[in-house]
Amino acid sequence: MEEVCDVGKRNGAGNLMKLLLANFSKMVGDTGGAAKVHCSFANEMKRRGHDVAMVFCDDKIGKPFFPVDDGIELYNLQHYEDTNVVFPTYLKVKREIVRAFSTRRGRAVNNAFVKTYLLAPTKRVLESFKPDIIICWQTLASKIFLCDLETKIPVITMSHGDPEDIFHTYPQEEIPALGKSAACQVLMPSFVEAIKKRFPNMRTVVIGNVVPQYEEAADLGCEKEQYKIIFIGRLVKNHKRPHLLIEAFAKLADDFPDWIVEIWGGGAKKSYRESLEALIRHVGLEQRVFLKGTTHDVASVLQKGDLFVFPSAFEGFGLTLAEAMSMGLPVVGCKSCVAVNELIQDCVNGLLAEDGVDGMVQSMKMLMENQKMRVKMGMAARESMRQYEASVIWDEWESLLDECRKY
């Protein structure tokens, strides 16, 4: 078996399987990329004939924000059978206190909650559903199945970010689960090395996220009365950093009076959203920068855009960035941001800015003042996303599932 598997395309499905998709995180109303991938993965595998169940942990009772097809079992471990538990307030307080000093210790509080309250319902789901393969969205889920419950069922551990974070900011007790996994899936080729350094014999597979292939691209060639900069992502201060976009646009607004900014996304802490609103007022752009909230129709939002700006500090893939590129929008991202600096080829399908407001200003200005450049880079961006077409990615997953079933 090769140390690193480049799983190729395959024609037709293999043996049908029972697949348990485990995301030990909230899913009810969550608009994040991992939740979107979780639902899309479940839907596609169900459509391909597999028997699919989704496991998650959420204080809330309800369905995921993203659609889930009929026939897919949903197990919220915090509200399953005779289990009815919410994350205790004292643990939330403890988590916030220790997280201020150590991300690893903050995550360890989550692990303690799962092991104390959710191990038993997880075992019951496993016994009831009897999966052939378990696909885990994080090492915590893999740890529960492989180390705590000691299942012999093959587990595929997914990495939705730079795996280096796992080794530096995740609880040490989760690391052995990687070594016990049947395979580890990463999103970018540059992420392979982090796994191989620690587990040289680990089957490490590069499979990107599915990116929609839109039939009709954004119209960048026509003259408009108003041009639009789009941002879509969770409103998180130290992650997606939409405040940098507002600050950068404030320095350009007077020179580009026919441009506006739309910021789409949820998930913001009240204090951060209020700080964004205050920032917009402070720079006097209440009529030109708009906090739009969440949307179920990303395509329509992107199609009306002229430029997509993504000031994220770190990413595992950057799904909304990729969707914007597939729509044919020119994009600006940070040169220092992993994954983003692989999706964007600087000066080809977008621009990679130096981190910070001034770098953003420089790159945004280049594209805002040059329509021909926007059209050219938009076309290149659209073409570069063909590699993430749905049938390609799902066939790669089918091949991996077939291999791991024999593990």
The string of pLDDT tens digits covering residues 352-389 is: 999 999 999 999 999 999 999 999 999 999 999 999 99
pLDDT at site 3: 39
Shared domain check, 397 and 381:
no
> What CA–CA distance (Å, rounded) separates 143 from 136?
9
Shared domain check, 127 and 20: yes
Same domain, 188 and 49: yes
With CA atoms as reference, report the closest residue to 306 among 367, 394, 361.
Answer: 367
Nearest Cα neighbor of 104 from 183, 165, 19 is 165
Polymer length in residues for the chain: 407
Gap between the Cα atoms of 110 and 274, Å rounded = 28
pLDDT at 11 over 70: no
| Same-domain pairing of 185 and 47 | yes
- What is residue 407's predicted lDDT score, i.e. its pLDDT? 72
Check the CA dihedral 24-189-317-391 and report its sign. negative
Neighbours of 63 (CB within 10 A): 14
User: Do both 66 and 202 map to the same domain?
Assistant: yes
**245, 171: one domain:** no
Percentage, residues of the chain above pLDDT 70: 97
The tens digit of pLDDT for each residue in 150-164 reads: 999 999 999 988 888
Domain count, the chain: 2
| Mean pLDDT, rounded, for 26-46 | 90
* CA distances for 78 relative to 51, 60, 122, 137, angstroms: 23, 9, 10, 17
Q: Which long-range contacts (CB under 8 A, 24 or more apart) does 190-194 make?
A: 190/338, 190/342, 191/159, 191/162, 191/163, 192/4, 194/162, 194/163, 194/164, 194/166, 194/167
pLDDT, tens only, 77-112: 999 998 899 999 999 999 999 988 898 999 999 999
The verdict on 194 and 90 lying in the same domain is yes
Q: Please give the residue range of the domain that contains residue 85.
A: 4-210+389-405
218 domain-assigned: no
| Rounded (5°) CA angle 234-236-242 | 80
Q: Are 173 and 288 contained in the same domain?
A: no
Residue 298 located in a structural domain: yes
Same-domain pairing of 332 and 196: no
Query: Are both 80 and 194 inside the same structural domain?
Result: yes
Domain shared by 206 and 233, yes or no: no
**pLDDT of amino acid 14:** 55
* pLDDT confidence band for 20 (50 / 70 / 90): very high
If asked whether residues 77 and 168 sit together in one domain, one would say yes
In this prediction, residue 12 carries a pLDDT of 43
Q: Long-range CB contacts (< 8 A, 24+ apart) of 250-254?
A: 250/283, 250/285, 251/357, 251/361, 252/361, 252/364, 252/365, 252/368, 253/283, 253/285, 253/288
Phi and psi at residue 134, to the nearest 5°: -115, 130
Residue 59 inside a domain? The answer is yes
Assigned domain for 219 exists: no
Q: Which residue has the tokens 């979107």?
A: 36
75 beta partners: 55
pTM of the model as a whole? 0.83
Mean per-residue pLDDT over the chain, rounded: 92
CATH number of the domain to which 191 belongs:
3.40.50.2000
